[in-house]
Structures are given as structure tokens and as C-alpha cells.
Chains A and B, each alone.
Chain A
């Protein structure tokens, strides 16, 4: 069994009076793909956004319980959020490249973190684009605008951008929901490859996608973590009737 990377214990989250996550206990393991599934409003994206404190930007949001990223208490007041987000990268639902060149998109964060050496930057850009399986398609036009890429390419660019600062964990919030089926399969293939080096947590509305790419699956329902197990178990012999009902399209 891979070592624990992120451990959530009795994690509660409130948006004002609304109790959005109810005492979530979950262990996310190193170099595994963990999929979060459940109907809209179940708390899966909220949970994902806790992992690099993206919920901080919502003023009425309050969190209690513990969320440990290895030895770092994610929600401790002393935790440096910028340093945390350097280790826990994120890819969003719709591809959102900066209105800059392909090169500058990937080089942006390393530069921001103080890297000035041009050769080093070039190395990072190439390595990141290769890891994101985009290099061959863009190597001859690195200085062209990123917005000229197709949707699927833009999303892989966003993945390359996230990889450029060499995070340990990659959070993905429905990364293929805006993409065509072939681009989706490319991203899925990429996720399987990235797993060798990164811990990946993905929110997806596509259950077949969760089944195809993840090692573990967590099923959320109205703020509860109903069931968390090996993906194979969740999709073949789930233990909770609510999980069974959800994945087979029956709602009680």
C-alpha cells in the first residue's frame, strides 16, 4: 500500500450556516488516482478545494477538523498558502490559459517563484509539455498565443503549467467536461501516466471516467462521504445501497 499523502479527519466545512461537508474521514495515498464522484451539490468539489485551500477566497467559508498533507496541517494559521499551492497544483474544468504565448504560460509560475535562468526555464517548459503529452504538437510554435490551441490542447497546456512548478499533488476539477471525446481520452491517458510521479485527485461527473482511470473512488452525497474504496469495489460490489443506487442510475 502506498504511503498516506493527504489525511482528512472529521473535516467539516460551512458556508455561513450551511454545513457543506460532514466530518469527512479519508486517506489519499501517494501516486494513486483518487476520484471524487457524486451528484451536483454533494460536496466533492468543495472537498477538492479544501486540499489546496482554494475555499479561502470565499469569505463566509469556515473549516474545522484536521486535514494533513504529510506533516503539514493544511488549515493551520501558520501554513504558507503559496507554498502549499506550489506542492498541490490544480487544473480546472474549463481550460484557462493566460493570454500569453505557450512558452510563457508554462514558464509563468517558475518565473514568479524567482527562476530567471533562461536555459533552466526552457528545460522546464520542454519537460512539462512532454509530461503533458503536448510537446510534439507545439514544439514548433512555442511563442505563438496559447489561445490559438484547441480546447483539448489548452487543457493539456494547463496541466503542463501546473506541472512546471513540480507539485506533488495534482487536483483536477472535472478536467475533461469541456472537451471532446478524443481529447478526453488523451487527458485520461495522461492521468494514468502522471500517476507514476504524482498523487492525483480528480472530481468527475463521468462515472465511466472514474472507473477507467482511478485507483480509489469516493462517493459523496449531500455533504457525506458515503463510501470510499478501491474503484473496482465501488463499481462492482459497493457496500452502501446509496452508492449502488447512484452508480446504477437508481435514486431512492
Chain B
């Protein structure tokens, strides 16, 4: 039995809002990748337009976290739940910005035929999507093992990024006329790589939430 049911209900609502934010982020990264592959400028614009709702939700979560700290004097794990929600909301907001970054680059290059077939970028994106899903599951279930497994995926993301970077660099060295598009493609890979880093931060936050200890995953 809880003698602070309103407060504990407010904590659950925070959690639900983070899950909602997470699903928006997942959608943003998946749609921006689809826009890239289909060379669909309109879809890319939609991803950018949708970013507002994630920003608003993040502000809302942050506001409520502050109020709970000021008004409820949370202790122990309750306090960590609030600081974790705050932190994760910021990570998700940054991840959504990375998805927007992809969409913006797509808008710049969507009208030209691609200089190469995109193989690794969609793989990178699907690993990123998997990371968001696993991160939110780990958060919801307070599952440290899952969080660690998720952060391990960041190695794949990093390796793919290096691969993409080198491929495009080679292309540019061979044919400087591709520089414009290839740079945007490198940006896209870089956005995805950053996306993975933010996901890793979520995993670290889950470990902190459960144990109260800071642990750097995948340093």
C-alpha cells in the first residue's frame, strides 16, 4: 500500500510519457530512413514537422519533474525515478533531433540519383531502432541486463559508421563531383552514430535508476 498515491501516480505518468516520446523517436528514425531510401522529400518534411510534439513533450516532462522535486521531496529511488525520467527525456529529445538531421540531409539530396547503393545506412538505422526499443523495455522493466545488451549494439553502430565514412571518402577521392551528396550521406551516418550514443546514455540511466550507481557502458 502506498500512502503517497497521487505522487506515485505522477511518477507512473512520467514513465508513460517517456514511452510515448520513445515511440515518436522510433517513428522519426524509421520514417527519416524510409524517406532516404525512397528519396521522398515530403516524408522527410513530415519528420521535421513532427519534431515539435517531441520537444513539447520533453518540456512537459521536465516541468513536471521539477514540480515533483520542489513539492514532493522525493527520496531514494523515487528521486532517481525523477532524475532518470528527466535525463531520458533529454536523450530522447536529442535522438529525435538526430532523426530530424537525417531528414534535413535527405531533403538536400533527394532529387539526385544516389552515387552509391545504400546498404550500411539502413542497417545502421535498424540497429538504432532496435536500441530505442530495447532501451525503453529495459527502462520499463528496470532490466539491467537488457540495458547492457542494448549498449553493446552501439559497437555495431560505430563500426558501420566507420565503414560508411571510409566508403564515401574513397568515392570522393576518386570523383570530386560527388562531394556534395557524399558529405550529406556522411552527415546522415554521423546522425545515426550520435543516435546510438544517446541510446547508450539511456542504458546507463537505467543502470543508475536500479542500482544508484553510475556505470559507463561502452566507453
Please list the residues of chain A having a beta carbon within 8 angstroms of any beta carbon in chain B: 207-208, 211, 235-238, 243-244, 247-252
Q: Please give me the residue from chain A that is nearest to B5 by CB atom.
A: A249
With a cutoff of 8 Å between Cβ atoms, the chain B residues found around residue A248 in the complex are 4, 74-78
| Chain A residues whose C-beta falls within 8 Å of the C-beta of B78 in the assembled complex | 248
Task: Please indicate the chain B residues that have their CB under 8 angstroms from the CB of A250 in the complex.
Answer: 1-4, 8
> Given that A236-B212, A237-B212 are contacting pairs, would A247 and B2 also be in contact in the complex, using a CB cutoff of 8 Å?
no
Question: Which B residues are in CB contact (< 8 Å) with A207?
Answer: 73, 75
Complex interface: chain B residues within 8 A of A247 (CB): 75-76
Is B3 in contact with A244, judged by CB distance below 8 angstroms?
no
Task: Using C-beta atoms within 8 Å of the partner chain, give the interface range for chain B.
Answer: 10 to 19
15 contacts between A and B (CB under 8 A): A207-B73, A208-B73, A211-B75, A236-B75, A236-B76, A236-B80, A237-B76, A243-B76, A244-B77, A248-B4, A248-B76, A248-B77, A248-B78, A249-B4, A249-B7
- Whether A238 lies near B4 (C-beta < 8 A) is no
B74's nearest neighbour on chain A, judged by CB, is A248
Task: Point out residues on B near A: beta carbons under 8 Å.
Answer: 1-4, 7-8, 73-80, 212
The interface residues of chain B lying within 8 Å CB-to-CB of A236 are 75-76, 79-80, 212
- B79 contacts A249, CB within 8 Å? no
Which single residue of chain A is at the shortest CB-CB distance from B1? Answer: A251
CB distance from A247 to the nearest CB of B (A): 4
> Across the interface, which residues of A come within 8 angstroms of B77, CB to CB?
244, 248
**Chain A, residue nearest B79 (CB):** A236
Bound complex: CA A189 to CA B97 (Å): 47
Taken together as a complex, chains A and B put the C-alpha atoms of A179 and B75 apart, in Å, by 24
Please give the distance in Å from A60's CB to the nearest CB on chain B: 33
Closest to A251 in B: B1
Residues from chain B with a CB closer than 8 A to the CB of A238 are 76
